[in-house]
Structure 1
Amino acid sequence: MKFLLNVKSIPEKETIFKITIPNTFIQKNTEDKEILTIENNQNTTHNTVPLKTTPESKKSILIVEDNDDMRDYLKLVLKKYTITEVTNGQEALDVLKTATFNTIITDYMMPVMDGLELVKAVKNLGLKTPIVVITARLDDVGKLNMLRLGIDAYITKPFLEEQLRITITRSIALYDQINALEDKISPKEKISLENNSLLFDKQLKSYISDNIQNKNFGVDDLADLMNLSRSSVFRKTKLILGQTPNEVINEARLQKARILLDENPNIRKKELAEAIGVYNATYFYKKLEERFLIVRD
């Protein structure tokens, strides 16, 4: 039909789509404002609409790091963001009383208040801000302690700069999704969610635990048990836990599998998969190894 589409993009500033439409397909409505404009009597019409994206500089990151050189390095790597820096967990908590951020980057080992205590405090405050831990600690215990608290990423030094940038981008995207969901619900529903979040969390995980061996157990079953629509379960789970229902179910299976492995290190993969309701034992065990850094002969 001889339509043309052209796109011009300036990273982090704007994206402009240019659509060229033959006059044959244009029908004017005299009652409405003219949206399309004709250029130079040519047989084409142009409608140029700039689609501006939010610059990364508008996104803010709180860096919690006691080493001056490391803070300077992180600021250089993440120079497109607005950075606030503090030297320990207590200072971070003081800042969080009056400011919000799109992501928190923290070291593990720091004076006054270390990263582990900071993460616990942030979670206790009910903040959904993504947390990325960057540390020189290589032991599995430290990593698992942090992961169990619900951090978004655990990065060990030295690390690839692009790895950090990708991690931050994904964390902020998830955070934006959660905020977008919160904006769509009414103040009354939001208060109700806050008041019932602990009960919802407890019921959700209880139903998942009771049905952990059921290979076909999914979001629809969860919705039926909780007497909610599928969309309500998805929205509430995302708002309260920061994860989708499927992600919560998968995490519950991983946690249950880890307990079974601790109790019986020689358990067969197929037997383990049966116990936690998984069809593909090999694929699941690979995910289990990645999640808990399990090494098994």
Structure 2
Amino acid sequence: MERNRVLDDKQVIENQAIELQSLNEFKNHFFVNISHEIRTPLTLILGYARRLKDQSEGENARRYAHIIAEQSLNIKGLVDDIVDLSKLEAQKFVLNEVSVDISHLLRKIYTHYQGLFAQQAIELVLDIPESPVIISCDAELMHRAITNLVANALKFTPPEGITCLRMKIADNLTVEVYNTGVGISSHDLSRIFERFYQAENTIANSQGSGIGLAIAKEIVQAHGYRIRAESVPHQYASFTITIPNHQVIPEEIPQPASLTSSQSPAAHSTVPGLQPKLTKRILLVEDNLAMRKYILGIDALKSYEVLEADHGKVALQLLEKHPIDLIITDYMMPHMDGLELVEQLKQKEYTQPVVVITAQTNQQKKLSMLRMSIDGYLTKPFLEEELLLTIEKALRYDDARRQFLAKELGFSESPLTTDELTAFNERLQAIIDENIDNENFAIADLCDQLHLTERTLYRKVKELCGGTPAKLITERRLIRARTYYDQGTYKSTRQLAMAVGFKNSTRFAEKFRTHFGIEL
């Protein structure tokens, strides 16, 4: 009887655990869905507030519009915290690593926060090298982590204080956010990265969600970097991200033009230097009528010819009837969503650049899109300048790709067949596949077989694939590893790593988990 009671209790506990897990998943799903619903109207509020500020003549009207935009950004921060919290609890931080100029990223954060610090009479100092410093990271998540540290410094630096955002290269690459002020007590310092924990202080008591630093730590550690906090109470606090030098890419990779905060949120909606051609035709696919009207109302976009569709099926019909230079599509739509549309575009051999706009922050969905070689991925709420710069860059790269195919490979510039578009990639992939199990196969070997210099190889791969040769090699290795994994060809992680040319099985397992969400 006692044994039966124990077994019954065990079954009750297991059932309760299943119910709690189900409830937790429902909660996370609810957070993501409600955040998606908030982002679209938030985009419209921010966009029209900026236009109102630019066009208003009265000082009060401009001030009120600025307050609306500022508070909307605060709401966006809360929404981001909710989504990030759900990701933390579900352990769904998935990295999309690309080559990023960390110097440029820090300048972007600095210019965005400069005005906010000035409003509170706080000096914000930027101390970074002038030359590019390239690392491999998820640009969006790393931006989020450093932004959280800077926002934290803004809350806890008193008027007339100093906050410094600096980067140093010595034994390792370090990014530090330092601020004078109340500092952090030794008791609080040991718990500062815990979720929902807020240190006792006299400046910003109870402000914020209490998860910003926890999110920053999760992001940093997911990259294999380190983060630490130091402080002397009533003097200063410092947060330092350490990036091992072996994860810094030595080659200077040219970065595309990108948005600075001097263009936002109060800048005029026309981006200086953008000269869109009247001959370019854009297809806008968006089911929300208010969002379509907002995008169509962007001044610089009026120089393009824009066709409209409210879902993917209508977009495909328009593509059959009209020549299109670029496609802008929402992700979530009825009848045929953005992902299905992009899949159809690839199947039907359409080659136009595609820019995806979404309220979703799900990294797996983003990766699904990026693996299909889209040209831009913007998350609502976005800046008008951000959209315009993405369009301009995508069109410019498309023109460069066509010119390259015509000049370097002898392909006709228009029309381009699928064979012409994929020929160079196929040559690259064939060589990589032949050497897939060679752990010593490197960029130099690829250059030798293609009879190209490293710089020329990088330029060609960048123009055709949007990535680097090293990323292409890693991608091919991981794809082959997934095939072996599905087939059960190898029994151990080490054997699987060696079969696809990875020297370090631990590093391989991390890459495999990040890429496919599968623990080996």
Structure 2 distance, partners of 1:209, 1:116, is: 28
Q: Name the aligned partner's letter for residue 75 of structure 1.
A: L
Percent identity over paired residues? 37
Within 5 Å, which residues of 2 pair with 1:140-155? 140-155=363-378
Alpha carbons of 1:212 and 1:164: their partners in 2 closer, same or farther (altered >3 Å)?
farther
Are 1:111 and 2:334 matched, yes or no?
yes
SS at match of 2:405: helix
Name the CA distance, whole Å, in 2 between partners of 1:149 and 1:75. Answer: 26
Give the Cα–Cα distance (whole angstroms) in 2 for the partners of residues 120 and 165 of structure 1. Answer: 24
1:208 pairs, out of 417, 424, 432, with: 432
Question: Which one of 48, 56, 61 corresponds to residue 276 of structure 2?
Answer: 56
Shift of 1:158: 2.0
User: Where does the alignment leave 5 or more consecutive residues of structure 2 unmatched?
Assistant: 1-272
| Structure (1/2) with the larger helix percentage | 2
Residue 217 of structure 1: CA displacement? 3.6
Deviation per CA, 1:64-102: give whole Å up to 9, x if none: 0011111112223x432312221111221122222121x
Q: Which has the higher contact order (CA 8 A, sep 6+)?
A: 2
Question: Which one-letter code corresponds to 1:56 in the other structure?
Answer: P
Residue of structure 2 aligned with 1:66, choices 252, 262, 287 = 287
Give distance in 1, aligned partners of 2:353 and 2:416: 24
- Give the secondary-structure state (helix, strand or coil) at the position aligned to 2:334: coil
* Pair 1:154–1:236, CA change in 2 (3 A): closer
Aligned-partner SS, 1:230: coil
Paired position in structure 2 for 1:248: 472
Matched with 2:299 is 79
Alignment of 1:1-297 (within 5 A): 55-58=275-278, 59-76=280-297, 78-81=298-301, 82=304, 83-97=306-320, 98-101=322-325, 103-184=326-407, 194-195=418-419, 201-202=425-426, 204-212=428-436, 217-218=441-442, 221-222=445-446, 224-225=448-449, 228-230=450-452, 241=465, 245=469, 248-252=472-476
Residues 213 and 186 (structure 1 numbering): CA distance in 2 closer, same or farther, change over 3 Å? closer
Judging changes above 3 Å, is the alpha-carbon distance between structure 1 residues 67 and 170 closer, same or farther for their aligned structure 2 residues?
same
Change (3 A) 1:220 1:160: same
In the comparison of the two structures, how many residue pairs are matched?
Answer: 236
Q: Report SS of the residue matched to 2:345.
A: helix
**Given the two structures, how large is their TM-score scaled by the length of structure 1?**
0.57
CA separation in 2, counterparts of 1:67 and 1:119? 19
Structure 1, 184-193 or 91-100: larger mean CA deviation? 184-193
2: CA distance between counterparts of 1:73 and 1:153? Answer: 19
Contact kept, 8 Å, 1:132 with 1:153, in 2: the verdict is yes
User: Contact 1:66–1:87 (CA<8 Å) still a contact in 2?
Assistant: yes
TM-score, scaled to structure 2: 0.36
- Residues 156 and 273 of structure 1, relative CA distance in 2, 3 Å threshold: farther
CA distance in 2, matches of 1:112, 1:144: 22
Q: CA deviation at 1:107?
A: 0.8
